[in-house]
Amino acid sequence: MKDITIDYALRSTWQAIARMYNEEAKQFDSTMAVGFTLLSIDPKTGTPSTALGPKMGMEATSLSRILKNMEIKGLIERRPNPDDGRGVLIHLTDFGLEKRADSKDVVLRFNEAVRSQVTQGQLDGFFSVIGCINQLISEKKIYDKEKASNT
């Protein structure tokens, strides 16, 4: 293909971001996936284990492996859900809260760096396009040529 496709631009940019985050995470003896998980767990009330996968867009098997490693490292603990005796809440330990703060700092620095180089109008346009793409995907309009051309 001569022109760069939208999916190629998104994928290559995300891969570059993931590499950058993994390089940063190495300094904390961690990974991007662990940092993302730390940021996805409610620091005050915990998060139901069943809600974490959909929230992060991850398959249960991948998330299960990450959570097991996080538990071994002392970042999280599993507690019974007081509202549902069968459910489990994932809570951050004190160490997990420290590492969550590190992860949050890295994400905020990345956002500040981008915002310093991009105008608010450009960001608004970017988020508008991303929102449209997500809506098309959720409404399954991507491959329906007739619907896509009428939008």
pLDDT in the model for residue 125:
97
Query: What average pLDDT does this structure show over 99-114?
Result: 96
pLDDT in the model for residue 50:
87
E-strand ranges in the chain read 47-48, 76-81, 84-92
Segments making up each domain of the chain, as ranges: 6-117
Query: What average pLDDT does this structure show over 143-147?
Result: 60
Contact 39, 68 (CB under 8 A): no
Residue 92 banded pLDDT, cuts 50, 70, 90: very high
pLDDT in the model for residue 113:
97
pLDDT, mean over the chain:
90
Q: Does domain 6-117 have CATH number 3.40.50.620?
A: no
